[in-house]
Amino acid sequence: MHLIIGGKWSSTWTMRGWLACKLSGLDFTTETLFLSRPDSKAKLAAISPTGRIPLLIHDDMRITDTLAIAEYLWELAPDSAIWPADRRARAAARMVAAEMHGHFSEVRAALPMNLIKRWPIKDGVPSNVKLLDRPGVRDNIARVETIWRETRRAWGSSGPYLFGSHFTFADAMYAPMASRLRTYSVDIAADSQVYVNACLDHPLILEWIAGAEDQAREIGWEAVAAWP
């Protein structure tokens, strides 16, 4: 299997696709396609049926939607950590993953993921307060905190993640959101902060962040930290 991803510091969906591949336990290779380069659009159109990434290539299959990638990998490795083993927990995990997949457009637009950047930032860049006060952003964040709280209350008693002791694809879906809350110094409830810390301290997340930092050093740390 071969996974095509974007820049690690900012590409939320490819982060999730990569995490799905890692959680599957299956062997795969990766290739990075930086979307901001002049020839990127043409390269992507030549390989991706939707013109989007992540793109998982396996034999004659080309899969672009991140949830579809996770489901495909789980079918190949149903005993993997992608979804909880319990059927009811698995349904709940799919439900909260699907909500992240389909909603929260306001916070995505106002607080783009950047694993290198940290607020506050000077030199005329809008404060995080101005960003958080954009329509819908605080409501989005409140809903995310509710999802975390209710899911952990129902399923997470055995450990620090949404479904307990095992980091699943549900956590992978919310990892970019957790990173946003850290990047933009968002004030959240204490139990939400505990989950954010656990999520971002997971070995797979730390591995991805280390890769983002390596890319930033190669490209130019200040340039990466200033985007967008």
Domain CATH number, residue 120? 1.20.1050
User: 173 by DSSP, 3-state: which?
Assistant: helix
**Are 101 and 27 in the same domain?**
no
**Are 118 and 198 in the same domain?**
yes
Predicted confidence (pLDDT) per residue in 41-90, tens digit:
777 777 877 778 899 999 989 999 999 999 999 999 999 999 999 999 99
Q: Count of domains in the chain? A: 2
**Are 69 and 91 in the same domain?**
no
| CATH number of the domain residue 58 falls in | 3.40.30.10
> pTM for the full model?
0.92
Predicted confidence (pLDDT) per residue in 139-190, tens digit:
999 999 999 999 999 999 999 999 999 999 999 999 999 999 999 989 999 9
Contacts of 48 (CB under 8 A, 6+ apart): 4, 55, 62, 64
- DSSP H helices, 77-202, are 87-102, 105-110, 128-132, 137-155, 169-183, 190-200
**Are 104 and 202 in the same domain?**
yes
* 68: containing domain: 2-81
Checking if the pLDDT of 123 tops 70, the result is no
Q: Which of the listed residues 62, 81, 100 is the one where a domain comes to its end?
A: 81
